[in-house]
């Protein structure tokens, strides 16, 4: 498939418009009324994938240096958590930050998001392995070690967290898997010590959870992260996860997050009219490409193209409608679309 460079540049520009002077990306537009004009750890992880894919290492380094700077700023809090083990959500590493001051947002929020910490560790290790230098100072090395120690202290393998969707506290396969992937990547760095038992406990917990996402969710869009980018499940498990997501969660304009998801549910009762998340299609396109199924990869890319609204990829569409929500564009959606577009053209 030939890449349309005009489409590619348009969507890269959509993402660039979300970047702040510090390097961090807002989740959505600066003037959005939904609260998405903040910098999330997870969103920055996914949003930056597009620039890595196009080989824009300058942007990649700037983003990841800023993310490391957040942890440097809050290292005393992280060290406190390691010594005392957090018992309240505000004592956990927070999910959202002011993109310029790197201060935490302190309103009540589902801040127990272990997957975000795992994702940070995984990508820093991945970039280092690729020769893209992120960790340079002794303080940065020290902070990475504290993040490893933090995951051990909270016992991530059995810690009920808010997960990728920042909601109900459960032990989530997507969170445990992200931490396992991050810790295994850290084991490759000579300046980081990762106790082998904290990796093994995570792997054991993941095996027990899969193919479910959690006790309450048998299929969940977040499980795609176990396949891409983290690659922590065997191919047969990956295919089972994909099959369940396609059968139970796929809709016309995206993938619902899970059954009876209340977020932007069109039904006032919160049932059966779940919002359709746009980044599900490019995510599946990337995954099928990685599995060597170019036909399915191209099919999902075509579905991705149909989610574009006024040259932007939204967060989601209301069930069975052509109406997106206000988080348009969503940086994460735009990024996965760019990655899918580029890979389909190879």
Q: What are the pLDDT digits (tens) for 71-82?
A: 999 999 999 999
User: CA-CA distance, 322 to 239, in Å (whole number)?
Assistant: 30
Q: Quick one: how far is CA 236 from the chain centroid?
A: 23
Per-residue tokens: 285: 């396109």
* CATH tag, 38-232: 1.50.10.10
* Ranges 58-62, 65-69, 87-91: which has the least confidence: 87-91
pLDDT in tens, 239-263: 999 999 999 999 999 999 999 999 9
For residues 164 and 213, give the distance between their C-alpha atoms in angstroms, rounded to a whole number.
11
Residue reference for tokens 């996965």: 336
All structural domains of the chain with their residue ranges: 1-18+250-346, 38-232
Confidence of residue 20 (pLDDT cuts 50, 70, 90): very high
> Burial of 7 by CB count in 10 Å (0-12 exposed, 13-18 middle, 19+ buried)?
middle
Task: Indicate whether 43 pLDDT > 90.
Answer: yes
Neighbours of 100 (CB within 10 A): 12
0.75 cut: is pTM over it?
A: yes
Using CA atoms, how far residue 157 sits from 120, 318, 323, in Å, is 17, 34, 39
Of 188, 197, 226, give the one whose Cα is nearest residue 209.
Answer: 226
Per-residue pLDDT band for 212 (boundaries 50, 70, 90) equals: very high
Q: Count the neighbouring beta carbons within 10 Å of the beta carbon of residue 268.
A: 7
251: nearest Cα among 224, 210, 280:
280
Contact between 224 and 244 (Cβ < 8 Å): no
Whole-number pLDDT of residue 325: 97
């Amino acid at each position: 498939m030939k890449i349309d460079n005009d489409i590619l540049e348009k969507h890269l520009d959509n993402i660039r418009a979300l970047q702040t002077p510090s390097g961090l990306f807002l989740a959505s537009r600066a003037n959005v009324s939904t609260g998405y004009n903040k910098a999330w750890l997870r969103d920055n992880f996914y949003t930056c994938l597009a620039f890595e894919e196009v080989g824009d290492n300058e942007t990649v380094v700037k983003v990841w240096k800023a993310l490391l700077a957040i942890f440097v700023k809050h290292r005393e809090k992280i060290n406190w958590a390691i010594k005392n083990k957090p018992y309240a959500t505000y004592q956990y590493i927070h999910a959202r930050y002011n993109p310029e001051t790197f201060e935490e947002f302190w309103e009540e929020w589902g801040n127990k998001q272990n997957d975000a910490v795992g994702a940070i560790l995984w990508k820093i290790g991945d970039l280092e392995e690729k020769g893209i230098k992120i960790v340079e100072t002794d303080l940065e090395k020290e902070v990475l070690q504290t993040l490893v120690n933090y995951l051990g202290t909270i016992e991530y393998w059995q810690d009920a967290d808010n997960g990728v969707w920042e909601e109900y506290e459960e032990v989530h396969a997507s969170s445990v898997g992200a931490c396992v992937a991050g810790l295994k990547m850290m084991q490759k760095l000579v300046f980081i010590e990762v106790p082998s038992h904290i990796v093994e406990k995570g792997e054991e917990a993941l095996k027990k959870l899969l193919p479910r996402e959690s006790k309450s969710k048998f299929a969940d869009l977040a499980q795609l992260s176990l396949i891409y980018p983290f690659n922590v499940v065997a191919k047969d498990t990956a295919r089972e996860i994909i099959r369940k997501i396609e059968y139970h969660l796929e809709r016309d304009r995206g993938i619902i997050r899970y059954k009876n998801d209340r977020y932007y549910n069109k039904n006032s009762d919160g049932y059966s009219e779940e919002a359709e998340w746009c980044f599900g299609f490019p995510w599946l396109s990337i995954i099928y490409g990685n599995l060597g199924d170019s036909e399915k990869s191209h099919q999902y890319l075509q579905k991705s193209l149909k989610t574009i609204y006024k040259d932007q990829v939204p967060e989601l569409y209301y069930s069975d409608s052509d109406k997106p929500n206000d988080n348009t564009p969503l940086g994460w959606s735009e990024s996965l679309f760019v990655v899918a577009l580029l890979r389909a053209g190879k």
